[in-house]
């Protein structure tokens, strides 16, 4: 995969060797401690996978970023196995990376407009 962040000297980001991809593949989870989705970088994995799929059909496709808070509100309302709780005084969320990425990919592939 390619991403708009592929810059020297770092090389490929969000590709198959990237830690976020490896956590996705391994069935990892995200624990969000006292933060909202504006700080969620896993949305970049969704954006990058979707962009790479579109690039296969049209190499001129532009990268599209999604509104993290809109996506997050959707996930909070519809996320599979999303668990809420407290860690200390922090409101927290725990969820599967694979569920998050796969569900949001289905969402944006069906209609990307509301999520921009």
pLDDT tens figures, 10-36: 677 777 778 888 999 999 999 999 999
Burial class for 43, CB neighbours closer than 10 Å (0-12, 13-18, 19+): buried
What confidence category does residue 2 fall into, taking pLDDT thresholds of 50, 70 and 90? confident
pLDDT of 69 higher than 90: yes
Q: What is the pLDDT of residue 4?
A: 84
Q: What is the pLDDT of residue 71?
A: 95
Share of the chain above pLDDT 70, in %: 98
Contact 101, 45 (CB under 8 A): yes
């Amino acid at each position: 995969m390619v991403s708009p962040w592929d810059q020297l000297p770092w090389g490929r980001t969000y590709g198959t060797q990237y830690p976020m991809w490896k956590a996705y593949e391994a069935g990892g989870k995200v624990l969000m401690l006292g933060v909202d989705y504006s700080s969620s970088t896993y949305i970049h994995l969704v954006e990058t996978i979707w962009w790479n799929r579109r690039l296969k059909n049209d190499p001129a496709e532009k990268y599209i970023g999604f509104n993290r808070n809109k996506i997050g509100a959707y996930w909070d309302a519809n996320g599979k196995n999303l668990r809420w709780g407290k860690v200390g005084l922090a409101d927290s969320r725990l969820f599967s990376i694979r569920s998050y990425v796969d569900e949001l990919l289905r969402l944006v592939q069906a209609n990307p407009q509301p999520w921009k």
